[in-house]
Amino acid sequence: MRLVDIILPLAIRDCYTYSVPDDLALPVPGTRVLVPLMKKEVRGVVLREHTEPIEETFKDKIRPISSVLDTAPMVSSEQLSLWQWMSSYYMCSLGDVMAASLPGGLDKRLTNPPKHRRALLAPYIGPIESMHDLSQAQAKSAESIETFWRNGKDIVLLHGVTSSGKTDIYIHLIEAQLRAGKNVLYLVPEIALTTQLTSRLQLVFGERLIVYHSRFTDAEREQRYLQIVNHSSQATNSFVVLGARSAIFLPIPNLGLVIVDEEHDPSYKQAEPNPRYHARAAAIVLAKEHGAKVLLGTATPSIESYYLALKGVYGLVKLTERFGGLELPHITLIDLRRQYERKEMYGHFSDPLVERIRQCLADNKQVILFQNRRGYAPQIQCMACGQPPRCVQCDVPMTLHKRENELRCHYCGYHVPIPSVCPQCGGELKAIGIGTERIEDEIQTLFPDARVLRMDLDTTRNKNAYQDIINAFSRHECDILVGTQMITKGLHFDDVRLVAVLNADPLLNQPDFRAYERAYQMLEQVAGRAGRKGAQGEVWIQTFDPNNVVLSITKAHDYEALYKHQVAERQLFQYPPFHRIIRLQMRDHNAVRVHKAATQLQVYLTRIFGERVSGVIVPSVERVQAYTLRELTLRIESSANINEAKRRLKEAIDHIWSIPSNKNVKIIIDVDPL
């Protein structure tokens, strides 16, 4: 009897064994098959031939596969390896990974081979010709990167300040790969996949460019997926795939290079559902499978990547010069405490800022107002010292739980009644955070003749709205753009002289050990939008906490200082890269039951892991739909055997599930959560 192990889109086990009828050829790994499951037929992907002996008693239970759906594998062997790594590293099933990998219908409905197999890649494409020249600094960086690669450092971190022209360097390196007949995967955060970037790459790579992102319909993504599968069998021309996070799952053959642009960007991590993977980590694994090179690019490296670069695990290349000799923007901090004290405010605008905006508009320059009011946890802050109350054990700001009248820590579960005054200085505590809509109203009242546009999730719901706003602003059909972090990514506007951050404090006070890192990244990105052509840009940051270390670091554009400060904190309070965090979220319809199960798991895990386990955490959003949530976090030393830790964690979870009352409690594991 010939047997194969099949991955099915189920969350329970990794694979299921089926037999292959005599009249069928043994399907190779990566081929899709149709198999019976209970009373249904489902699609699966062949993982491998099953060669281990099977007990006689089970033999009768093995059912035959119904049919083979592909003549050639739909999933490459490198992709299958990536799937296996992902399922083991992120502690989810192979079925979860499969569901995330195969676009739209490829894992569900039966598709005949598409009738119009229109090759998007023309059969012959002319030679690749360089369309631009690199500046001296860019050329030097490109050379250093290639030298690292030649010398066996396959992963290189390119730390280039904003507007240093990293894209030119990428293009140069991609061209070299294509000329060598290799294919390239170029990852960008979803939000950075603008027409600005795509049309620029289209100009250089023409038909060789394949774009892939989640805004495509299922059919569009399926078409691109098949295009890449078919291409591998033809192997005519090399190509480059530009895509967001999920492009990591495309079965690109003959991969020579993976670029992860804005490698620090949090959107590379899939928060929900499984697999809760980080595309940067996955890119490194995938590249290794192919023997390909990796380039991580950013103006503001993640602490984790920079740490590995300084340790020599990655090559490190720095580009400190902005393209065209442009100076980094000049940053002015406005002390809101003093402004309010003197009553020199209009709404949320300080008088000096209003004055500066007035001058910009008079000079026919554009202004960007940044207020990142979305997805903030409710916070409080001292109006006198500018600090939020922090957890004594974890050093992160605590989150406000109004109903319980408590402040809570999201890492260890520590909680205290809301203090009436600031624990640090006795000053007055106030809830913080205002939205973009309010800012838009205020600025319009201040400048009734100015043309104001707002860009946030609410104004960009319909398909072309995002692009329309960007187009209008870049054509200078609007004077002031008010927006959230959507405006920070990779956009270039020539007439912007001034960028103002209305209140930096919510950024600084997130209940997250990465808050300072994120704040710095966001402020640098926002600042990078100022001063494109000729003149130096200006950035004005309003804050109640002008002495905050991150703000002075941002003012000096001093990433090294940020890194040193953060790495010391991380070591002291046991965060990445020194410790790995695994977050467990438990859900149940019954609040009492989920709390009890969380307590049981906490006790059980503490016996194994001791103080590495947190207390039971009540998240700030405690109920989602009909579920009540509880959380636990585990912090494992990076030097420890993580596989052993995961094995014991699984054991603990199985134990919890073996208790009858916990049968319906959902437990979601998030490895390296953001």
Task: Write out the residues near Zn ion by the rule CB under 5 A.
Answer: 382, 384-385, 391, 393-394, 409, 411-412, 414, 422, 424-425, 427
Distance CA 158, CA 149 (A): 13
Q: How far is the CB of 541 from Zn ion (least distance, A)?
A: 20
Per-residue HEC secondary structure of 332-395 comes to EEEEHHHHHHCCCEECCEEHHHHHHHHHHHHCCCEEEEECCCCCCCCCEEECCCCCCCECCCCC
Distance CA 247, CA 59 (A): 40
**Within 13 Å, how many C-alpha atoms sit on residue 110's CB side?**
9
Distance CA 279, CA 266 (A): 10
Nearer Cβ to Zn ion, position 396 or 453? Answer: 396
Sign of CA dihedral 545, 547, 548, 551: positive
Q: How far is the CB of 614 from Zn ion (least distance, A)?
A: 8
Nearer Cβ to Zn ion, position 414 or 604? Answer: 414
- Cβ pair 490, 388 in contact under 8 A: no
- Strands of 446-556, DSSP E: 452-455, 480-483, 496-501, 538-543
Distance CA 593, CA 606 (A): 20
Q: How far is the CB of 384 from Zn ion (least distance, A)?
A: 5
Nearer Cβ to Zn ion, position 171 or 508? Answer: 508
Distance CA 155, CA 149 (A): 7
Nearer Cβ to Zn ion, position 373 or 390? Answer: 390
Q: How far is the CB of 117 from Zn ion (least distance, A)?
A: 56
Q: How far is the CB of 410 from Zn ion (least distance, A)?
A: 8
Q: How far is the CB of 381 from Zn ion (least distance, A)?
A: 9
Q: How far is the CB of 363 from Zn ion (least distance, A)?
A: 40
The β-bridge partners of 579 are 637
Q: φ and ψ at 460, to 5 degrees?
A: -120, 20
Nearer Cβ to Zn ion, position 382 or 522? Answer: 382
- Cβ pair 303, 570 in contact under 8 A: yes
User: Of the candidates 430, 432, 431, 453, which has an alpha carbon nearest to the alpha carbon of residue 443?
Assistant: 453
Q: What is the dihedral of CA 157, 158, 160, 162, to 10 degrees?
A: -80
Q: How far is the CB of 402 from Zn ion (least distance, A)?
A: 19
The set of residues, in sequence order, having a beta carbon less than 8 Å from that of 364 and lying 6+ positions away, is 495
Distance CA 290, CA 250 (A): 13
Residue located via tokens 């602490």: 303
Nearer Cβ to Zn ion, position 29 or 427? Answer: 427
Nearer Cβ to Zn ion, position 332 or 606? Answer: 606
Q: How far is the CB of 612 from Zn ion (least distance, A)?
A: 14
Nearer Cβ to Zn ion, position 155 or 394? Answer: 394
Question: Identity (one letter) of the amino acid at 636?
Answer: I
Q: How far is the CB of 389 from Zn ion (least distance, A)?
A: 9
Q: How far is the CB of 417 from Zn ion (least distance, A)?
A: 16
Nearer Cβ to Zn ion, position 166 or 410? Answer: 410
Map residue 623 onto helix, strand or coil: strand
Cα–Cα distances in Å, from 474 out to 165, 260, 443, 470? Answer: 19, 26, 20, 6
Q: How far is the CB of 483 from Zn ion (least distance, A)?
A: 31
Question: Identity (one letter) of the amino acid at 197?
Answer: L
> 408 is written with which tokens?
């809570």
- Cβ pair 293, 154 in contact under 8 A: yes
Nearer Cβ to Zn ion, position 382 or 501? Answer: 382
Q: How far is the CB of 434 from Zn ion (least distance, A)?
A: 21
Nearer Cβ to Zn ion, position 72 or 425? Answer: 425
Nearer Cβ to Zn ion, position 534 or 610? Answer: 610
Q: How far is the CB of 423 from Zn ion (least distance, A)?
A: 8
Nearer Cβ to Zn ion, position 252 or 613? Answer: 613
The set of residues, in sequence order, having a beta carbon less than 8 Å from that of 257 and lying 6+ positions away, is 173, 174, 177, 182, 184, 185, 287, 292, 293, 294, 295
Q: How far is the CB of 387 from Zn ion (least distance, A)?
A: 5
Distance CA 29, CA 90 (A): 22
User: Of the candidates 210, 291, 295, which has an alpha carbon nearest to the alpha carbon of residue 250?
Assistant: 210
The set of residues, in sequence order, having a beta carbon less than 8 Å from that of 398 and lying 6+ positions away, is 388, 389, 390, 391, 407, 408, 409, 414, 415, 416, 511
Q: How far is the CB of 600 from Zn ion (least distance, A)?
A: 22
How many distinct helices (H) and strands (E) make up the chain?
Answer: 19, 29
Nearer Cβ to Zn ion, position 301 or 413? Answer: 413
Nearer Cβ to Zn ion, position 410 or 532? Answer: 410
Map residue 503 onto helix, strand or coil: coil
Q: How far is the CB of 505 from Zn ion (least distance, A)?
A: 13
Give the rounded distance of the alpha carbon of 308 from its chain centre.
Answer: 19
The β-bridge partners of 581 are 635
Nearer Cβ to Zn ion, position 298 or 633? Answer: 633
Nearer Cβ to Zn ion, position 28 or 549? Answer: 549
Give the rounded distance of the alpha carbon of 157 from its chain centre.
Answer: 17
